[in-house]
Structures are given as C-alpha cells and as structure tokens.
Structure 1
Amino acid sequence: MKRIILLLLITVQGFAQNFDYRNYTDLLSNHVSSKGNVNYDKLKTNVAELNLVVAEFEKTQPRKNWSRNEILAYYINSYNVHTLKKVIDNYPTKSIKNIRNAWDDKFIVLGSKNISLSYIEHNILRKMNEPRIHFAINCASFSCPDLLNKPFLPQTLNSQLESVTKDFINDGSKNVIEANEIKISEIFSWFSGDFKSKNTSLIDFINKYSTININEDAKVRYLDYNWSLNK
C-alpha cells in the first residue's frame, strides 16, 4: 500500500515514470528566476549539484518502451542542463559564443557514445517533427527563449510547449509584431522550414500564438541576435 501511495505521489508531482526529475527541479528552482535569468555565480559554487543532475541524465537514457513525450522531454531537458554545464565549465564568460566548439564538442555521454548539443538539436529533436522545441531549448543567451525554471515533463509537455511558444512570440524583447510588419527572431530564419508546411506559412504559424493578428502579406524582418549571457 505504501508503495502504491508513493507512486501516486510521484505521478501527481509531475515526475516522469522512466526518469526522476526531482534533482533537476531543485537545480532549476535554486538557480533560475521566473524570468529565465540564470544565477551563474551561484551555480558555479554549486557545481556538484549540477554534476549530479548531469550524471543522472548519463545514467538513464530513453528506451524503446518510452513514449514520444518522455523522449521529447528527456532530450529537451538534457539539452538545457548540458548547456548550463558547458557555460559553467567555462565560466566566467560573457557569451556562450566565446566558448570554443560550444555546440559541436562531444561532451555529452549517451550510452556508449559521446554526442554534442548540435547532435541533440539537429539529429534528435528536429527530426521529431515538433517545431515548438525551438522555444523550449535554451542557448544561454539573451535572445534565446527563456530557460524555464522547471523541467519539461511528459505529462504536461504539450501545455508547456504551447506556453513557452506563446510567451516567446509575444515577448517584445524577442519579437516586434504589428499587423502589417513583423520584426522577429532569427530563430524563424535559421529554422524556417520547421515552421512551414505545404499548406502553412511562417505567418500562419506565428498567428496561432500571437496576440496581434498578422496580415499574410506583412513585411518580415529579422532582428539581430543578442548572444550576451542570460544572467
């Protein structure tokens, strides 16, 4: 009976059946603000806590019996925690772009092989046909989507992806949207194909989340990306 109650409590708290996100939850809540700002100085002093979470991701990887949402949540969270590690391992720094091979360094252990942040993004997440991942993964920079200060969880993944996508698109510091002209993040340029389909344009995608309706013939411009550290 006690075991059943414990399992029910874990489910209610939102922890994945195949991965325990409790330590990652604590790491984020202790070092990331509700606005997505990271206290890197504090995290540097608590590097053992960060390394513990990284080790948990290395110890448990997705298996064939995992659901799509469990796999998506795992790799989104893995990308974000390993980005934190990459910055902390090279901290202090003013920008992740100052770190040599930040995205291509194969420092992430996945089973019997080592992979990079780029591999997770391009070879795993983008191939799962879920464009909203671009607003969930964080590149430790001001112009990136905010780093959520709690894990993405399989049970709540769709609502979380909807929320972060809406928040990013309507954030005036990331995008400036008017009916006849939009000045938007370069994310929409770099990954334009991920947001469009045979019957859906980029503006159609943005209009699903924008509080301002954009005309289909609106001018589209891209804002310069600010790579300053999100602290």
Structure 2
Amino acid sequence: MFNTRGEVMLTHFFRRPANFKRMITALLAAGAIAFTVPAPSRTAMPPARPNGIEHTLFTQVLADHVKDGAVDYKAIKTDPRFPQYIAVLQKSNPEALTGEEKLAFWINAYNAFTIQYVLDKYPVKSLMNKLSYVTGGGTFKTKFIKINSRKYSLNDIENDIIRPMGDPRIHFALVCGAKSCPPLRAEAYVAGRLSEQMNEQGRLFISQSDKNRFDFEKNEIAISKIFDWFKDDFRKNGKSELEFISHYLPPEQAQKLLARSATIKVKYTEYDWDLNE
C-alpha cells in the first residue's frame, strides 16, 4: 500500500496530463491493458428482403449469352450457372412474394424455363407455331415446370398467374423463344426496377422495324400480332392498343398516331417462329 506521502505524490503525478499520457502509453506497449471493439450484432438489422429471391445467377447467364435479343443456347447449355438458377426457382416459394417481387419472379421463371425447354430439345429450328402459342397447346401446355413441389406449364404461368396481375407491359418481357417475340433482356427482372425495365423493353420492341412499322405518309402501320392476340390486355381502362403503343414511341410519332388513330390502317407483321438465336 501507498503511505500517505506516496498517495499524495501519486495524486500530484496524475494531475499532470503529460504524466498520465506517458503512463497509459507505456501500459499499452507492455500489453498490460487492451481495448476491444465489440463485433457488430448479427441481429442488429433484419434482412432487407426476407422473402426475396436472388436472381443474380440468371443475370450473369443472360449478360454473357444474350446479345441484342439473340440467345446463344449452345453456350448456355454448358454454363453451370443456368441449372443452378433453375434449382433456385424450383426451391422457391412464390406464394410468399407480393407486388413487384412476385411479378419479377414469374417473368424470370417463364423466360428461364422457356430456355430450359429449348435446351432439352436443342439443336432445334423452332419449338412453336401459331396454333400452339395462341391456344396454349403443344409446348405451352406441357407441365414440365416444377416450383415448390407444384407443376406448371408455360401456359399456366402466363395466363393463370402473370396476365391476371393486370400489367400489359408483361408482353414486352415474356419471351417464348421465337424471333418475333420481344427481345430477351440481357438481365433478370428485379423488384424496384421492374417498371423501368419493362418500359425500356417496350420502347425497344416498338422500335424494331421487323416487328412494328409506322408509315404516316401512307397513313398505315404494321404492328406485332401480339397486339392482336392479346388486344384485351392492351384495351384495359377504356384505351385502345394504339393508345398503349403511343407511350413507347418518340413524341412526334406518338402525336401522329393518336391524331390518326380513328382513320389509320392497321395491319399485323408476319410472325417469325424460328428460334431466337
């Protein structure tokens, strides 16, 4: 123990900041004391997407093997990331999803399983024809898709799940594997960007002259048969399919189309069912 004199001397020693600082430095150097920073709590923040499904693998596959809408099926067939993504879809529970998460999931599922169906038949010139696409027969009726222990066909996904969600822009995003389909986007659809992504696909699809042509000098247009087959989807809220299309045209063309919508002659472009490769 310190005697009274020693205690007084120690008190005076610590009253001088320089002395206190030197002692702390010496103790730290000697390892006599140590400071620890607590690790961040593992439960400090809840997961951002507790029910979300990761679509990164699909984006990687599409980014590497899709160019200007053309799909390199041969390359995807040997890419291990694609079956890994299919496994993600199969193990998912879409019933736990809502809103954009749910719509993005089913659009990606439709496109991914269409690719899977092509790969199972590849090499092949075409999987579809007009009759099977419009009636939901053939390829579209086959229940080869298994998600969360339930079986679906492409027809089930499109007509029983996606279309009833009420957004006609899905027709810009769903790709049935034919050249005249809208181009396959080189990334997966994701919640938070879904509306932006579908709008971009709409502008791209409408601008493709092999699918949609606008000749205002002749007062006639030739548009994709998608606008005929699914006209009821585009005519919701009392609007016509031409009004819908106008949103994806440059402003000058949109004004002309709306001004002439009552008199302009509408034809439909021939649908190319060859594989979109």
Normalization by structure 2: what TM-score? 0.74
Tell me the alpha carbon deviations over residues 101-126 of structure 1, each in whole angstroms, 9 at most, x when there is no partner. 31111011122321100110000111
1:39-72 deviation digits (Å, cap 9, x = unpaired): 11112223x43221111101012134x2310010
Helix, strand or coil at the partner of 1:153: coil
Structure 1 residue 178, shift from structure 2 partner: 2.7
Quote how far apart the aligned CAs of 1:199 are: 2.5
1:51 alignment partner, SS class: helix
- In structure 2, runs of 5+ residues without a counterpart are 1-39
Cα distance in structure 2, aligned partners of 1:80 and 1:7: 31
Aligned to 2:143, which of 82, 88, 106?
A: 106
Q: Which residue number in structure 2 is paired with residue 27 of structure 1?
A: 61
* Equivalent residue, structure 1, for 2:212: 175
1:17 Cα deviation from its structure 2 partner: 5.9
* 2:263 pairs with 1:224: no
The partner residue of 1:81 within 94, 112, 132 is 112
| Alpha-carbon contact 2:143-2:152 (below 8 Å) kept | yes
Give the partner amino acid of 1:38. Answer: V
Alignment partner for residue 180 of structure 2, among 136, 143, 165? Answer: 143
Paired residue type of 1:230: N
What whole-Å deviation, never above 9, does each CA across 1:146-195 have from its counterpart, x for those lacking one? 00010000010011111111111121121001332110111001000000
Q: Which has the larger Rg?
A: 2
- Residues 16, 70 of structure 1: 8 Å contact kept: no
The equivalent position to 1:206 in structure 2, one of 245, 254, 272, is 245
Gap change, CA 1:166 and 1:16, over 3 Å in 2: farther
Picking from 82, 85, 92, the partner of 1:60 is: 92
Give SS of 1:182's match.
strand
1:184 to 193, 217, 223: 223
> Contact (CA 8 Å) 1:16, 1:153: kept in 2 or not?
no
RMSD, aligned CA: 2.4
Match of 1:37 in 2: 70
Distance in 2 between residues matched to 1:142 and 1:2, nearest whole Å:
52
The change in CA–CA distance for 1:190 and 1:2 in structure 2 (over 3 A counts) is farther
Per-residue deviation, 1:16? 9.2
SS at 1:131's partner residue?
coil
Task: Give SS of 2:176's match.
Answer: coil
Give the number of the structure with larger relative contact order, counting CA–CA contacts within 8 Å between residues 6 or more apart: 1
| Change over 3 Å in CA distance of 1:2–1:151 after alignment to 2 | farther
Count of residues in Structure 1 that have an aligned counterpart in Structure 2: 223
Tell me how far apart the structure 1 counterparts of residues 93 and 51 of structure 2 sit (CA, whole Å).
13
SS at match of 2:139: coil
2: CA distance between counterparts of 1:25 and 1:3? 29
Structure-1 separation of matches of 2:145 and 2:61: 19
Which one is further off, 151-160 or 177-186?
177-186
Give TM-score scaled by structure 1 length: 0.88
Equivalent AA in structure 1 for residue 127 of structure 2: I
